[in-house]
Amino acid sequence: MEKACLSCGKLIRGRADKKFCDLHCKNIFNNALASNNKNEHRFIDKLLRKNERILKKLCPKGKAIVRKETLDQLAYDYNYFHSIFITKSKNIYYLCYNYGFSPTYENNVAKVIIIQRQAYMDSFNPWKYLRSR
């Protein structure tokens, strides 16, 4: 049975499990895969850094409360954060590097509490909140 090279499309002769016609095509294919992956990582990192800049701008003194509309106007992307932190009172903070926010309501107005990351947040244990079986 003849198959086509995954890189150039030429017919491959030889072993049944062969995917490329030669080493050059194999390298081109694998480099393209790695490049796509790196581009996706760059894109996500760019969004995380943008989110962090927005939070930092709105929180110059370590903690601030602002309306959600303010984040929306600055094009904050809520889908991208790198970790979460849950406080003892069960508030969830979504962190973008050194800043994070927690959604809240104050007098029926959507707001966010913005905080600067603290050293004690580095020892977060997500299993702490699970019930044992």
Residue 76 to residue 114: CA distance in whole angstroms:
13
26 within a domain of the structure (yes/no): yes
Q: Which residues contact 35 (CB under 8 A, 6 or more apart)?
A: none
| pLDDT tens digit at each of 133 positions of the chain | 678 888 888 888 888 888 888 888 888 888 877 776 677 888 999 999 999 999 999 998 989 999 999 999 999 999 999 888 888 888 899 999 999 999 999 999 999 999 998 888 777 777 777 777 6
Residues sharing a CB contact under 8 Å with residue 6, sequence separation 6 or more, in sequence order: 19, 20, 25, 29
In a domain, 117, yes or no: yes
Domain span holding position 53? 3-126
Number of domains in the chain: 1
Residue 89 in any domain: the answer is yes
